[in-house]
Amino acid sequence: MILMALYRALMISAVQLIHPRRFGDARGWFTEVYSEPAFAKLGIDCRFVQDNHSLSVPKYTLRGLHFQTPPRGQDKLVRCVRGAIFDVAVDIRKGSPTYGQWVGAELSAENGHQLFIPIGFAHGFVTLDDNCEVTYKCSDTYAPESDGGIRWDDTAIGIDWPMPAGTIPELSAKDAVQQLLADFDSPFPYDGRPLAPLA
């Protein structure tokens, strides 16, 4: 029941923007946000074992860029269920031809889009509304000993966060002092899956 995006690359991109179909009538709508067989057809065959749900009260709250290192890496399937966010994935796979490059998409309660972010990518988002709620599925549970991050404003990555010039986002104390990409010795190998523009 899920209408998936078609991909421009010959191979399926590592990071995928997914467009679940909504079936609506006078009552509202219904959508199937996850189906193991449908996702497997896209090459997403991980097993999700944890669901997370966050609330970010102020507009321009920024969370990221986060990842867990092997052997506790996490594939993530992210969606926004209230408000809107700009969701980002950064390639941190050693040897990848797109190492340090990023892709991003707006996810909102209105559009229903989801972003699949596999192991080997740092993840972050900034909220575009007040009181945003985000849910995401993970393929491993939280492991503080494997918790890692990269600075959200690293100029070597150059993420174009959609915030007015001069805006200082709301950050956690941890995210304000994350390491730069240049100081990061990646434990993630390149697996041959390309990072392509999001469809």
Domain count, the chain: 1
128, amino acid identity: L
Residue 103 domain-assigned (yes or no): yes
Q: 86 lies in which domain range?
A: 47-183
Residue 37 domain-assigned (yes or no): no
pLDDT at 51: 98
* Cis? peptide before 70, omega within 30° of 0: no
pLDDT at 28: 96
pTM score of the predicted model: 0.92
Q: Which of 95, 50, 41 is nearest to 68 (CA)?
A: 50
Average pLDDT, 10 consecutive residues per value, the chain (199 residues):
36 88 95 94 94 98 98 98 98 98 98 98 98 98 98 98 96 97 98 91
Counting DSSP H helices and E strands in the chain, the numbers are 1, 12
* Cβ proximity of 133 and 83 under 8 Å: yes
Q: What is the CATH number of the domain that holds 51?
A: 2.60.120.10
Quote the CA–CA distance of 21 and 30 in Å, as a whole number: 8
Secondary structure (DSSP) of 33-69 = ---HHHHHTTT------EEEEEEE-STTBEEEEEEE-
Residue 31 domain-assigned (yes or no): no
C-alpha 110 chain-centroid distance: 18
pLDDT at 7: 33
pLDDT at 27: 96
Rounded to 5°, the CA angle 74-75-80 comes to: 110
Residue 54 domain-assigned (yes or no): yes
Residue 30 domain-assigned (yes or no): no
pLDDT at 112: 97
* Cβ proximity of 46 and 137 under 8 Å: no
Quote the CA–CA distance of 90 and 66 in Å, as a whole number: 10
pLDDT at 13: 86
Residue 42 domain-assigned (yes or no): no
Catalytic residues: 66, 136
Residue 196 domain-assigned (yes or no): no
